[in-house]
Chain A
């Protein structure tokens, strides 16, 4: 009841204040008021602040690089990835140059020509020469960038099967991955979701002779230096096979087979020795130690130390557990790979059990 009264009093007080201010307003009569329009003082302050804005953007960028420059992906671990990284570098340099100058001009002009009473603006409506220049320069620069980009793209996407690449199927489902190797014949057997039954989780056609030696695993092993063609399938919804360290990504689409090919160039063991990666892992492990200490204080289980591994992530929203759909990728020498694959069961063996 008291609460109700308090609320009522507040409301009534508000209404009273409202009415008072209305009366006060009306008593002042009708007049126009220019105080909400910027005056010289406002122009001056905001002009200086505009200069501050561009300095802030520069500073922010520098701080970001200084503080978080080390979170960026390490060097590409695939052949084509180096090409992408170079193109990225060229584009980034271009962007930084253009951004640096245009933002500077924008803010500097805003500062320099801030309004003052009596200052006269220049009536400058058109200049064909200027406009031609800043149309043609982007045209030329972009033409170069487009051609460079298209060459890179075509190189990556036109998959050349002459050099006998290894065929691997990446199979996505809510919320995990499977990889299927072609086996000794390096050919994948036919498969369809309608054939999914029991251990035949990928719906492989057991009667297809090509399928007999196929090998299904949940950890992707790749021999270094050999080209791999990935054939992607999805069992249910759209997924995207994202392998950031190899600069590789392709959607997995139910009802069709998509593909992407690359040649891994750095083994997992080598990558773990890479300076950047060592520093990154060290930083991560420090953070994990701090967190573990906090967890231990609460009596919870501590976090395990982290060791670098290549990753396959799902990068297309696919459902509730989208955030945890991953598979480990191991790049190793041919001998290590051969030893590993020899231990895996073929489909024929798996179905027999």
Chain B
């Protein structure tokens, strides 16, 4: 197959000159080039991220000072913020849309969409994705779903407000909460389109990785990024359709009088006709996607962190095979642990035991990965580029957030911390903040690849990292305490419980850290936009990395390589490898050997 790809490459090269008649529309809007599509994903994702984070600031303001009036509510929320007082229903809408946007639009599409598109063809040595057209359709479906999600904020009764998990009956009945009217319909339509987009993207990634690897690029020579994207795409294909079915059934219940999830309901003074459905069924279907979803978010980040860490440590990633095996193990286990979100949903307690067992098993591959990352740093020559800092930050938050998973995954302990702020702290650290660090690491590391050699400003990068890392811990460490104090999440205010009065100052501290952290993101945005146009142009291979993307042309051309696609002769992690008599590196004076360099005389192939 790789021989075929090679032939194909040569053909491509021959007719290279005919490719330049691109109009503005085909180049920047309906582009089929994976590099442009990746930038489209990133910028759309960042835009959605701004909305998502801004929403979190609004509700943090409310949580810290529930009795105060803020004009900003009136400015941004209109009729729901009249007189500077936030309406309780819009509070729920904010947390719902914040969750939806951050999980799906930023960390799924913005992270995996951006970097799968950018890196899969470049790192496996392909001219483009298997289907450039499907890739384009995938992006535009994502764009459409983003537009619909944003539009849903402006409907009369307000956007979806049943929580990002949209459990029926709350999400099914407009009588139960205003947001379950037109807002919820738009939410479901948007998500259905999003799922279509994600499936098209994932299928494309899978086919590309399987079929279009360049000559010599065996699966065991793939950089860990590609392994992560590949496995992520497979999980997406397995689990997203189940969410689609859940969404369709919910649409039926809402609009066509079916009773998949509804039974025995008396609301707004009347009994509904629905009989026989079960909300627990929805929870099963939702979490069958919902749990793999957190791995869809975190695995690409793990892959990028592995790659960036090895490059900047000037060392091979420790235990490549174990890293691949643990990605596969996590992916497999991720599809059989969904029930740990439902220990107290009323499902059979025996199932709770089974899910506790499978859930705690995930800690094993996760521990292996963490130890391997730490060992990768050991006796390295660490280049503290911003990407590297975020990678180390990733491991730090993955450990602190992951460890509390041992408590939540234990059904007996979950009884008392379920749906409290302890959960909020846990998942924000382990999948929210960690995945964001992965995203930032990727942006800092591959920015030159995206923007034709331009680099992000490192000083601003350092400021961004250090403020973010301190701020994020400042937000989520204290949050564990209010969770352990028994404070439920999704409360508009805690003032109705004098018992929680002593938590008020913790909430103030959390909010202040949240504002500081958000301010650091403004630094990043400035750096990003400014460097896009005025960033300094670095060398072709700025981080001295071994992977193929740095051999591609700096200037974006269709087909990535001006000449033939390079052939691969070694794995991706020959950093600081010494020659036989250990006097110097394999290539004298250069501490890395790129993948396309043939094995040198007397060089021992230590790997694959």
Contact = CB atoms under 8 A, between A and B. Distances in A.
Contacts of B262: 254-255
A346 B149 CA distance: 51
B88 A323 contact: yes
B458 interface: yes
A235 interface: yes
A251 B413 contact: no
Interface string B376-391: 0111111111001100
Given A87-B410, A106-B374, A196-B271, A249 B490 contact: no
A311 B485 CA distance: 13
A30 to B, nearest CB: 8
Interface centre among B384, B480, B491, B576 (most CB of A within 10 A): B384
Given A32-B537, A53-B396, A84-B412, A125 B501 contact: no
Contacts of B346: 232, 250-251, 253, 256, 258
A36 interface: yes
Interface string A121-154: 1111111001100110011001001100110111
Interface stretch (A95-103, A180-188, A210-218): A95-103
B349 A99 contact: no
Interface residues of A, number: 127
Interface stretch (A1-9, A222-230, A238-246, A333-341): A238-246
Contact of B491 (A42, A60, A247, A322): A322
A64 B477 contact: yes
Nearest to B275: A255
Nearest to B578: A123
B412 A156 contact: yes
B271 A71 contact: no
Interface string B310-321: 000111111111
Given A250-B344, A323-B491, A326-B496, A35 B485 contact: no
Contacts of B379: 113, 121-122, 124
A317 interface: yes
Contacts of B170: 237-238, 317-319
Contact of A131 (B368, B381, B486, B497): B368
A138 B320 contact: no
B332 interface: no
A103 B502 contact: no
B242 interface: no
Contact of B176 (A194, A236, A247, A313): A236
Contacts of B220: none
Interface in A153-180: 153-154, 156-158, 173-174
Interface stretch (B204-212, B515-523, B538-546): B538-546
A27 interface: no
Interface string B524-550: 000000000011111110110000000
B162 interface: yes
Nearest to A233: B264
A98 B403 contact: yes
B30 interface: no
A25 interface: yes
A73 B457 CA distance: 47
Given A49-B466, A153-B353, A115 B169 contact: no
Contact of B413 (A84, A105, A240, A255): A84
B427 to A, nearest CB: 16
A230 to B, nearest CB: 12
Interface stretch (B108-116, B193-201, B356-364, B556-564): B356-364
Contacts of A235: 265-267
A247 B168 CA distance: 26
Given A33-B537, A121-B575, A150-B357, A139 B364 contact: yes
B391 to A, nearest CB: 10
A92 interface: yes
A43 B396 contact: no
Contact of A71 (B361, B374, B502): B502
Given A38-B384, A123-B577, A142 B364 contact: yes
B514 interface: no
B153 interface: no
A126 B320 contact: yes
B313 to A, nearest CB: 6
B436 to A, nearest CB: 17
B258 interface: no
Interface in A30-56: 30-38, 42-43, 45-47, 49-50, 53, 56
A31 B536 CA distance: 9
Contacts of B2: none
B54 interface: no
Contact of B267 (A30, A236, A306, A321): A236
A323 B496 CA distance: 8
Given A124-B379, A142-B364, A73 B486 contact: yes
B349 A157 contact: yes
A21 interface: yes
A47 B382 contact: yes
Contact of B539 (A34, A46, A71, A242): A34
B81 to A, nearest CB: 15
B503 interface: yes
B588 interface: no
B267 A174 contact: yes
B169 A254 contact: yes
A121 B315 contact: yes
Contacts of B575: 121, 123
Contacts of A173: 266
A42 B481 contact: no
B412 A149 contact: yes
Contacts of A35: 458, 536
Interface string B404-415: 101100111101
B344 A249 contact: yes
B400 A88 contact: no
A57 B473 contact: yes
A248 interface: yes
A119 interface: yes
Given A49-B466, A73-B486, A119-B381, A255 B264 contact: yes
B499 A324 contact: no
A280 interface: yes
Interface of B: 88-89, 92, 162-163, 167-170, 173, 176-178, 262-267, 271, 276-280, 313-322, 344-346, 349, 352-353, 356-357, 360-361, 363-364, 367-368, 370-375, 377-385, 388-389, 392-393, 395-396, 399-400, 403-404, 406-407, 410-413, 415-416, 418-420, 453, 455-458, 462, 466, 469-470, 473-474, 477-478, 480-482, 484-486, 488, 490-494, 496-499, 501-504, 506, 534-540, 542-543, 573, 575-578, 591, 606-607
23 contacts: A33-B536, A37-B455, A37-B542, A38-B383, A47-B382, A53-B396, A57-B473, A73-B484, A99-B399, A122-B378, A123-B576, A134-B371, A142-B406, A149-B411, A150-B353, A236-B176, A237-B173, A242-B486, A248-B415, A249-B415, A311-B499, A315-B418, A324-B496
Given A43-B382, A121-B381, 8 more contacts: A37-B455, A37-B538, A64-B481, A68-B506, A124-B315, A124-B316, A237-B176, A255-B277
